[in-house]
């Protein structure tokens, strides 16, 4: 066995086809929309936020005064625009841009809780029917910190029993289907805390919701630990969409993140 740390990698995010977007803006809003875009693009920190704002402004044609006769003034800056949308709870525009995370060295405790969030997500999880573990990884929650040696012995004992049982099967002479069935049967012996991996894609509306739910003080320690990392990355990369999130430090050095606008 080896002790591991849950890792968070932001491995993908929504990008814009700038040429197509500029063409579209010129088609629907002429020079007014084009000028709005070149000014806004220069100030923008992320394509996800830029796309979100374009989608929102398209609804009222609010790229500039004059495009929609009903609109007599527009919010000039992206900060102001996104903040107003969050405050009104017009959350659907935050569904246009997504992020893809790899959560590595997380337990089945974590993945089981993560997959309860159904809306706006895509999930691919390491198959423990197909993947026969070669070594058990285990993250030690802070509550068990002073029991490290004892935990190590427990996991090593499980691992040893697993290897004993595994050794009773003739893996070399099995077809893949039988291997899969036995691997799946054997995984019942492995602990819930064994390290595994999951790829999780979610749109920003969902990421805001899951950060709020899963960094609450009452949330389970591992998902809180992981979503604190997610929140820190989101704050840095998408400062406008997560501008209203503030944190308080918890005793275990993780942060509990709360947005000003909860229902978005």
Ligand X SMILES: Cc1cc2nc3c(=O)[nH]c(=O)nc-3n(C[C@H](O)[C@H](O)[C@H](O)COP(=O)(O)OP(=O)(O)OC[C@H]3O[C@@H](n4cnc5c(N)ncnc54)[C@H](O)[C@@H]3O)c2cc1C
- Which residues of this protein are in contact with ligand X, per CB under 6 A? 116-119, 209, 213-214, 216, 218-219
Cβ proximity to ligand X: between 149 and 218 the closer is 218
Q: How far is the CB of 181 from ligand X (least distance, A)?
A: 29
72 burial level (CB within 10 Å; 0-12, 13-18, 19+): exposed
Q: CA-to-CA distance for 118 and 93, rounded, in angstroms?
A: 18
Cβ proximity to ligand X: between 65 and 216 the closer is 216
Cβ proximity to ligand X: between 35 and 95 the closer is 95
Cβ proximity to ligand X: between 78 and 254 the closer is 254
Q: How far is the CB of 135 from ligand X (least distance, A)?
A: 31
Cβ proximity to ligand X: between 32 and 100 the closer is 100
Q: How far is the CB of 99 from ligand X (least distance, A)?
A: 15
User: Quick one: three-class SS letters along the chain?
Assistant: CEECCCEEEEEEECCCCHHHHHHHHHHHHHHHHHHHHHHHHHHCCCHHHHHHHHHHHHHHCCCCCCCCCCCCCCCCCHHHHHHHHHHHCCHHHHHCCEEEEEEEEECHHHHHHHCCCCCCEEEEECCCCCCCCCCCEECCCHHHHHHHHHHHHHHHHHHHHHHHHHCCCCHHHCCHHHHHHHHHHHHHHCCCCECEEEEEEEEHHHHHHHHHHHCCCCCCHHHHHHHHHHHHHHHHHCCCCCCCEEEEECCCCCEEEEECCCCC
Q: How far is the CB of 224 from ligand X (least distance, A)?
A: 9
Q: How far is the CB of 210 from ligand X (least distance, A)?
A: 6
Cβ proximity to ligand X: between 189 and 216 the closer is 216
Q: How far is the CB of 94 from ligand X (least distance, A)?
A: 13
CB 8 within 8 A of CB 101: yes
- The tokens describing 84, both together, are 């107003």
Q: How far is the CB of 205 from ligand X (least distance, A)?
A: 9
Cβ proximity to ligand X: between 73 and 118 the closer is 118
């Amino acid at each position: 066995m080896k002790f591991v740390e849950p890792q968070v990698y932001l491995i993908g995010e929504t990008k814009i086809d700038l040429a197509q977007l500029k063409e579209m803006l010129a088609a629907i809003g002429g020079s007014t929309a084009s000028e709005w875009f070149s000014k806004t693009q220069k100030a923008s920190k992320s394509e996800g936020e830029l796309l979100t704002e374009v989608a929102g402004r398209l609804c009222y044609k609010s790229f500039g005064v004059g495009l929609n006769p009903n609109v007599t003034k527009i919010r000039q800056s992206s900060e102001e625009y996104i903040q107003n949308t969050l405050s009104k709870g017009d959350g659907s525009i935050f569904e246009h841009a997504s992020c893809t995370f790899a959560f590595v060295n997380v337990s089945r405790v974590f993945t089981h809780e993560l997959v309860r969030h159904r809306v706006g997500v895509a999930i691919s999880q390491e198959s423990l029917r197909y993947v026969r573990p070669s070594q058990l990884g285990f993250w030690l929650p802070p509550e068990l910190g002073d029991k490290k040696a004892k935990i190590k012995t427990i996991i090593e004992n499980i691992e040893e029993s697993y290897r004993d049982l595994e050794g009773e099967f003739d893996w070399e002479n099995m077809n893949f289907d039988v291997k899969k069935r036995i691997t799946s049967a054997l995984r019942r012996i492995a602990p819930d805390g064994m390290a595994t991996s999951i790829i999780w894609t979610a749109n920003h509306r969902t990421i805001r919701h899951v950060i709020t739910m899963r960094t609450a003080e009452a949330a389970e320690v591992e998902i809180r630990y992981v979503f604190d990392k997610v929140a820190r990355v989101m704050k840095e990369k998408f400062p406008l969409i997560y501008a209203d999130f503030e944190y308080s430090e918890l005793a275990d050095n993780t942060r509990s993140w709360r947005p000003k606008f909860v229902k978005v």
